[in-house]
Copies of this chain bind each other. A is one copy, B any other.
Amino acid sequence: MNTLELIQKNLDTFSKSERKVAEVIIASPQIAIHSSIATLAKMAEVSEPTVNRFCRRLETKGFPDFKLHLAQSLANGTPYVNRNVNEDDGPEAYTAKIFESTMACLDVAKNALDTSLINRAVDALTQANKISFFGLGASSSVAHDALNKFFRFNIPVACFDDVVMQKMSCINSTEGDVIVLISHTGRTKALVEVAQLARKSDAFVIALTAYNSPLALQSNLVLSMSVPEDTDIYMPMASRIAQLVLIDVLATGFTLRRGAKFRDNLKRVKDGIKDSRFDI
Q: Which residue of B65, B102, B249 contacts A94 across the interface (Cβ within 8 Å)? A: B249
- For chain A, the count of residues having a C-beta within 8 Å of the partner chain is 85
Check A187–B91 contact: CB distance below 8 A.
no
Q: Does A267 contact B (CB under 8 A)?
A: yes
Check B245–A233 contact: CB distance below 8 A.
no
Check B77–A74 contact: CB distance below 8 A.
no
A268 CB, nearest partner CB in chain B, Å:
9
Once the chains are docked, how many angstroms separate the CA of A256 from the CA of B87?
6
Residues of B contacting A94 in the complex (Cβ-Cβ under 8 angstroms): 249, 252-253, 256
Stretch of A15-23, A42-50, A145-153 with 4 or more beta carbons under 8 angstroms from chain B: A145-153
Stretch of A114-122, A165-173, A194-202 with 4 or more beta carbons under 8 angstroms from chain B: A114-122
Residue of B nearest to A105 (CB): B103
Check B85–A240 contact: CB distance below 8 A.
no
Q: Does A277 contact B (CB under 8 A)?
A: yes
Interface of A is mostly: helix
Q: Does A235 contact B (CB under 8 A)?
A: yes
Check A233–B102 contact: CB distance below 8 A.
no
Q: Does A260 contact B (CB under 8 A)?
A: yes
Given A34-B65, A145-B240, A185-B277, 13 other A-B residues pairs in contact with their CB atoms under 8 A: A34-B68, A73-B75, A78-B80, A94-B249, A98-B252, A106-B106, A137-B148, A137-B273, A148-B235, A187-B278, A189-B278, A234-B269, A241-B241
Name A's B-contacting residues (CB within 8 A). 33-34, 64-65, 67-68, 71-80, 85, 87, 89-92, 94-96, 98-100, 102-103, 106-107, 109-110, 113, 115-116, 118-119, 122, 137-138, 140-142, 144-145, 148-149, 152, 185, 187-190, 192, 213-214, 233-235, 237, 240-241, 244-245, 248-249, 251-253, 255-256, 260, 263, 266-267, 269-270, 273, 276-280
